[in-house]
Structure 1
Amino acid sequence: PCINRYRVNWPEVELDLSGGFNFTPFPALARGDIDLVITSDPVEMAGIHYVPLFHYEAMLALAKNHRLTKRAYVTPDEMAGETLITYPIDRNRLDIFTRFLDPYDLEPADTRTAELTPMMVQLVASGRGVACLPNWALTEYLGSDVITARKLGPDGLWCKLYAAIREEQLDTPFMEDFLSTAVVSSFESLSGIVRINDNEEGLGQVPPAT
């Protein structure tokens, strides 16, 4: 929805998408090969500015008959016997490690990777492991009763999604319009996301007030 809406206002702007876990986006952004990176894992770099888009909750996806479905939320020590399915990226970029398990010096029983969210969901549904995924990405699967999900900790594990851009493009009309369109489209189409507080500062993850 975001791209289609943006193309109406800026038909002269060429839009292309790059992805894949072997792609290193931040050096490409700094070089000018690409103009924008969507990330929940900001890396402080000279000349790069991060525009916060929204908060989302990272949740633990579980098979319908998993033992942890009896819990209102999952604690770090309860991950000790689980196989954790993640995207194939360094663990220091995964919030479930850096903000949930590592502070308690805990590890899952095993890990495995999958590149695509639908593949991760199928592995979870078949009892091959558990996965930490954004609440908005889980909505369609929870609605179809394929899997279930639980909070990570009593307050949940809240994260922030950013748009990374070069500082020189921060005030350009085409970029300002894309960012505003992205926020509007996100709140129209994604469930469970929370608006950024104007008083928030820095790159930290601030849980929304309840």
Structure 2
Amino acid sequence: MDLEIRHLKLIKAIANAGNLAGAANDLHLTPSAVSHQLRALENQLGVAVFDRQQKPWELTPAGTQLFQLSLSVLGAVSSRLRQVQNLKPNKNLRVGSECYAFYLLLQRYHFTLEADYAPIAPELIHQRLMHHELDLGMTTIAPKSEKLTSCTLKQDEIRVIVPDDHPLAEASFVPAEAFQQEVLLIHSYPLETVYVYQHFLLPNGVEPAAILPIPLTEVALQMVAEGKGLLCLPDWQLDRFTLPKGLTTQTIGAQGLHRTVHAVYRNEDQNLPQLKQLTDEVLTLKTW
């Protein structure tokens, strides 16, 4: 008989679900259709694929061999199809970022991006890469999975912007406890994507007096000038514009608040043209 891809998908779905109903849901079929297809396959093979007396269903010795074959073949087919898709000219690069500002780091590259520009928690970025929902992730946490790799996109320092006449403007640095009396202005939630909160305030057991999301940097700077809160930005972003009169920046913590921005992607996609352009430039030290 000819064993088809649909047969392998059928075996894999039933083995994973352990019953017809779960497999039917995964295959977008009715349970009766799944049962009919399985019965027809077993008749052609001349052997049972599943032991129906067990709950959940268990693979027979023959079924185990076919299940292992399905994992191998379907995995290879999926991988090859993704490689073919990557050969499409002008393929959109699906990008996710922990911080909205990180998208600015890609402006020098002429990528066609597919992104909603909403901040994504670092752990979720890694998960979405593994699930092939993203092609590139920008995060301050390096990947742990052997299936993901990364290169350093940027190393920067987060600084806090304060009014010239604020007591903190004359301090040698801004300690964590100083934020207890201040409104922290952020670009947006979730707080898992706010570096100063996750890596400076929380470790020191400090909560700001309030946290207020302000998506527009210009508006946030005006609020700082009016004494309505403090704003934290990376040094390279500050270099892109002139601070309004009456504002200055300060070091966060005695040692400064430094971070590394990682460009994270799947090992199998390392030859994707857009990613190769980025990594080649970074790795040859043509940095910012």
Q: TM-score, normalised by structure 1?
A: 0.70
Greater RCO, CA 8 A, separation 6+: 1
Measured in 2, the distance between the counterparts of 1:99 and 1:175 equals 29
Of residues 120-129 and 45-54 in structure 1, the stretch that sits farther from structure 2 once superposed is: 45-54
Q: Mean alpha-carbon deviation: is it higher for 119-128 or for 150-159?
A: 119-128
Query: Residues 143 and 149 of structure 2 are in contact (CA less than 8 Å); yes or no, is this contact kept in structure 1?
Result: no
CA contact (8 A) 1:6 1:181 kept: no
Partner of 2:248: 148
1:18 aligns with 2:153: no
How far residue 47 of structure 1 moved from its aligned partner, in angstroms, is: 3.0
- What residue is the counterpart of 1:50 in the other structure? 150
Is the 2:151–2:282 Cα contact (8 Å) retained in structure 1? no
Which residue matches 2:197? 97
CA distance change for structure 1 residues 5 and 22 in 2, over 3 Å: closer, same or farther? Answer: closer
Q: Which residue of 1 aligns with 2:265?
A: 165
Instruction: Tell whether 2:277 aligns with 1:180.
Output: no
Cα distance per residue 1:101-151 (max 9 Å; x no partner): 222212111111122333322322222100221111112445554621100
Cα distance change on mapping 1:176 and 1:20 into 2, 3 Å? closer
CA contact (8 A) 2:119 2:190 kept: no
2:217 is equivalent to residue 117 of structure 1? yes
Instruction: Find the structure with the greater CA-based Rg.
Output: 2
Show structure 2 runs of 5+ residues with no match: 1-103
What residue in structure 2 maps to residue 135 of structure 1? 235
Does the CA-based 8 Å contact 1:62-1:149 persist in structure 2?
yes
CA contact (8 A) 1:141 1:147 kept: no
Aligned mate of 1:68, from 164, 168, 171: 168
- 3-state DSSP class of the match of 2:236? helix
**Runs (5+) with no aligned partner, structure 1:** 8-13, 188-210
Aligned-partner residue type, residue 158 of structure 2:
A
Task: Tell me if the contact between 1:2 and 1:182 (Cα under 8 Å) persists in the aligned partners.
Answer: no
Q: Determine what percentage of the aligned residue pairs are the same residue.
A: 22
Looking at secondary structure, tell me which structure has more helix per residue.
2
Alignment-mate amino acid for residue 129 of structure 2: L
